[in-house]
Amino acid sequence: MSLKQKVMRGGALLLVTQVGGLSLSLLRLIILARFMTTEQYGVAMALLLSFTTVEMLTQVSLDRFIMVSKPGDEDDKLMRTMQTLSVVRGLVGMLTLLALAKPITLLFNMEYALDAFLVVSLAPLLRGMLNLDIIRQQRDHRQRAYAFSELGGQTLGFITTYPAVLYFGDYWAMVAVLLMQWVGWVLMSYWLSERPMRFGFDRTIAKAVYNYGWPLLINALFMILILQGDRFAVGTFFSASELGIYGAIYTLVVTPASVFVRIASMLLMPLLAQSEGVQRAKRYNLAFTAGLATSVVIVGFYTLFGEPVMALVYGEKYAAGSALVLAGLSLAWAFRICGAVSVSMLLATHRTKENMWVNILRSVFILPVIGIGFIGLPLPYIALGCLIGDAVSLVMMNRLAVNGYLEGRYWLANQAGVLAILLTTTLLTLMLY
């Protein structure tokens, strides 16, 4: 089978399974939201936020290192080392979440939910037990194992949701769903892997992982501010009920956007890493154009139909006053969708330090978001603060991504795309706000 056929088949499979998995994820959050009060759902969102924050704090990009590595005789040694580091990462994640549980509950005024935050610390440990052979298969443009492992985890989490919410009736249902999701993902990874999980350690490989991953680890610290800062601000300066509403809106926007972002990471990165010159420029511009098209669809849909969709999906208790927040967050995520293409380019060409510096600068823009929460402006202005920061981030990230890699008409076409999204977003923001 040719590379083009592999990529097309893998892309189609990823699209189907990512849409399916994220749909199940959205559905389970909808079930939880409808059966809980907005305050209880706010605690559930805080639990999910805590887990994803710790995941980012311990992100040393083992999966990305595998995907950009070259197939060869060292594969067995590489995978043994990666597997060991993955388990270590899981243990560190569990201990980190245990340590942060008390401060987080104090920050969000949720001391009554401390036990749930402690129990959910098992999720990073489960995540560390994944058989990483499913990532190695991705490197070879074989997406089946990873795609169905993730889908299996999402399916088990979804199946758990209704019984859990009936039994617990509160935020403990989120704990059960998260843990069962990772149990399912781990079991599926064992089943679909071609190689059994084996452990080992090679200092040369570990050093290469360190050199590749340390900028991404520092980058992850700032990505927490970028991706989670708005919800931390809402959790700190607003009520648990408002965090629940904002979390519901955020999920509705992020779910379709995540399909593109994840596929860009899993499918585009190996393609860019294995190409050069004009071929790489063509692939980058094609992916960037696809990001623009996806953004137009998402922004247009939520700008026109945001509040009715919220009422239909989550119920009237979440819908009131949601239209402007939905529009603002969808515009912010339009920039993040296109930015995912630029990130893939930087990582595929091993320019992790450039990626780190852009996100350090981007994280500065979380300060206005915190200021908005501190002075008590309403939720739509939180979304506006995110939008401004993401616009600046895309311009910087794209400029670094194309520098030295796109020339002539390919560079002009790329700049035209950036200018188009900036002008369109500026016009829509002025109209909405």
Euclidean distance between CA atoms 387 and 381, whole angstroms: 10
pTM of the model as a whole = 0.76
Residues 336-370 pLDDT 10s = 888 888 888 887 887 877 877 877 877 888 888 88
Residues 189-203 pLDDT 10s = 999 888 888 888 888
Residue 72 buriedness (CB in 10 A; 0-12 / 13-18 / 19+): exposed
Residue 14: its pLDDT value, please?
Answer: 66
Look up residue 267 and give its amino acid.
Answer: L
134-138, 155-159, 345-349, 428-432: which has the highest mean pLDDT? 155-159
Mean of pLDDT over the chain: 83
Structure tokens at 324: 């402007």
Residue 181: its pLDDT value, please?
Answer: 94
Smallest CA-to-CA distance from 24 within 188, 223, 258 is with 258
In this predicted structure, the answer to whether residue 171 has a pLDDT above a threshold of 90 is: yes
In this predicted structure, the answer to whether residue 101 has a pLDDT above a threshold of 80 is: yes
Residue 183: its pLDDT value, please?
Answer: 95
Contact 174, 48 (CB under 8 A): yes
Residue 116: its pLDDT value, please?
Answer: 94
Smallest CA-to-CA distance from 51 within 147, 177, 184 is with 177
Residue 1: its pLDDT value, please?
Answer: 56
* CA 358 to each of CA 54, 95, 154, 216, 394: distance values in angstroms, whole numbers, following the listed order: 21, 29, 32, 12, 9
Cβ neighbours, 10 Å, residue 73: 7
Residue 117: its pLDDT value, please?
Answer: 94
Percent of the chain with pLDDT over 90: 21
Based on C-alpha coordinates, what's the Rg of the chain?
A: 21
403: confidence class by pLDDT, cuts 50, 70, 90: confident
Smallest CA-to-CA distance from 89 within 120, 50, 119, 123 is with 123
DSSP structural state of residue 426: H
Residue 222: its pLDDT value, please?
Answer: 80
Cβ neighbours, 10 Å, residue 431: 9
Euclidean distance between CA atoms 66 and 138, whole angstroms: 9
430: confidence class by pLDDT, cuts 50, 70, 90: low
182-191, 242-251, 263-272: which has the highest mean pLDDT? 182-191
In this predicted structure, the answer to whether residue 11 has a pLDDT above a threshold of 90 is: no
Tell me the three state secondary structure of residue 90: helix
